[in-house]
Structure 1
Amino acid sequence: MKELDVMLERFAHHALPDACPRQRRALEELLSLPDPVLAAYLLGESTPPEPHLAALARAIRAYVANEGGSALF
């Protein structure tokens, strides 16, 4: 989904410069998920069972909402 790619790119551009290695690994893990699963997590349709991925998905949604981003989130 191109829209999700744009949102993730903007979040990564904002968050990665200050991210610690653990946070970078969490983002890599999230991005390795199949697109339909990733979309469901980022759209808030479901929650990752892993607490660190659930927190990251919430952070991405919050960043996009506060940025005035797409209504996708």
Structure 2
Amino acid sequence: MTELSPRLARLKFRAWHRGTREADYMIGCFFDRFHAEWSEADIDLFEKMIEEEDVDIMAWALGTQAIPAEYRGPLIDRMMKLDYVEIPR
């Protein structure tokens, strides 16, 4: 396993410490599954997006709220598939 850069380690922490278990799984699992594939622009966008409210991020991913123009694109499109969420039982 490759050690994360300090920036990615901070993003991982933020992705997994959202405030609700549902948001932790959605955003944290998304980070874990895809961060290694991201470009610098993707990392910048994710870093900006996770400063938004959990309810908004989840609504965008679930398609129940319009996605702001600055977040539209491949990153949020991938998040909307929701096939990356692994919930421990």
Tell whether the structures are fold-level matches, with TM greater than 0.5.
yes
Checking the alignment, whether the CA contact within 8 Å between 1:43 and 1:61 is kept in structure 2 is yes
Task: Give the TM-score of the pair, scaled to structure 2.
Answer: 0.60
Aligned length: 67
> Counterpart of 1:25?
44
- 1:4 aligns to 2:23 (yes or no): yes
In the alignment, structure 1 segments of 5+ residues that lack a partner are none
Greater percentage in helix: 1
Larger deviation: 35-44 or 16-25?
35-44
4+ runs of 1 displaced by more than 6 Å?
none
Identity %: 16
For structure 2, the residue ranges without an aligned partner over 5 or more in a row are: 1-19
Offset at residue 69 of structure 1 (A):
5.6
Separation in 2, partners of 1:47, 1:2: 23
Partner of 1:14: 33
2:62–2:80: 8 Å Cα contact kept in structure 1? yes
Partner AA of 1:23 in structure 2: D
Greater relative contact order: 1 or 2 (C-alpha under 8 angstroms, separation 6 or more)? Answer: 1
